[in-house]
């Protein structure tokens, strides 16, 4: 039995080797978020910053920074165009 086979056998025999939930939480790109932390999203300029806080809201660290794709301003979202200002021409 070579070294690789021995490692596989050890892993296979260990109690948590086939624990699906643990395996899933360690998947590529996943961020482990234990229940005693919370993560909030804070919009800053054109970025969305995911921040990890303790249950009593103390800063722990930055988890992730993304570009905010919802980049339209309120005015842009409200309406792309105004309306024709003609009311005075139709007043009785």
Partner 1 sequence: MFYSMQPDKALRFGDVLQGYPSTTPRIEEPILNGNSTKYKIDVDLPKFTVVMDPSCEIRNQTISLTPLIQVSRRFFDNPYFAEDLTRINREMEPQQALSALAWSKLDLKEQQNRLNVGRTYALLNLFIYEEHALFPKYTIRRKGEVDIETSYSMINFRNTYKLCCGKIESPEKSPLKSKILQLSPETRAELTNKLIKYYARIHLEDKALEG
Distance, CA of 68 to CA of 88 (rounded, Å)? 42
Give the interface size with partner 1 as a residue count (CB under 8 A): 15
Q: Is 71 an interacting residue with respect to partner 1 (CB under 8 A)?
A: no
CB of 89 to partner 1, least distance (A): 5
CB of 76 to partner 1, least distance (A): 9
Residues forming beta bridges with residue 42, ordered by sequence position: 49
Residue 43 parent element (H or E): strand 38-44
Q: Is 75 an interacting residue with respect to partner 1 (CB under 8 A)?
A: yes
User: Any residues with CB less than 8 A from the CB of 33 and at least 6 apart, and which?
Assistant: 39, 52
Residues making contact with partner 1 (CB under 8 A): 74-75, 78-79, 81-87, 89-92
């Amino acid at each position: 039995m070579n070294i690789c086979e021995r490692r596989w056998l050890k892993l296979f025999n260990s109690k948590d080797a086939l624990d699906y939930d643990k395996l899933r939480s360690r998947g590529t790109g996943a961020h482990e978020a234990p229940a005693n932390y919370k993560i909030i999203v804070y919009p800053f300029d054109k970025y969305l910053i995911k921040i990890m806080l303790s249950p009593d809201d103390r800063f722990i660290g930055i988890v992730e920074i993304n570009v905010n794709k919802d980049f339209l301003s309120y005015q842009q979202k409200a309406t792309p165009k105004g309306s024709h200002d003609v009311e005075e021409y139709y007043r009785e």
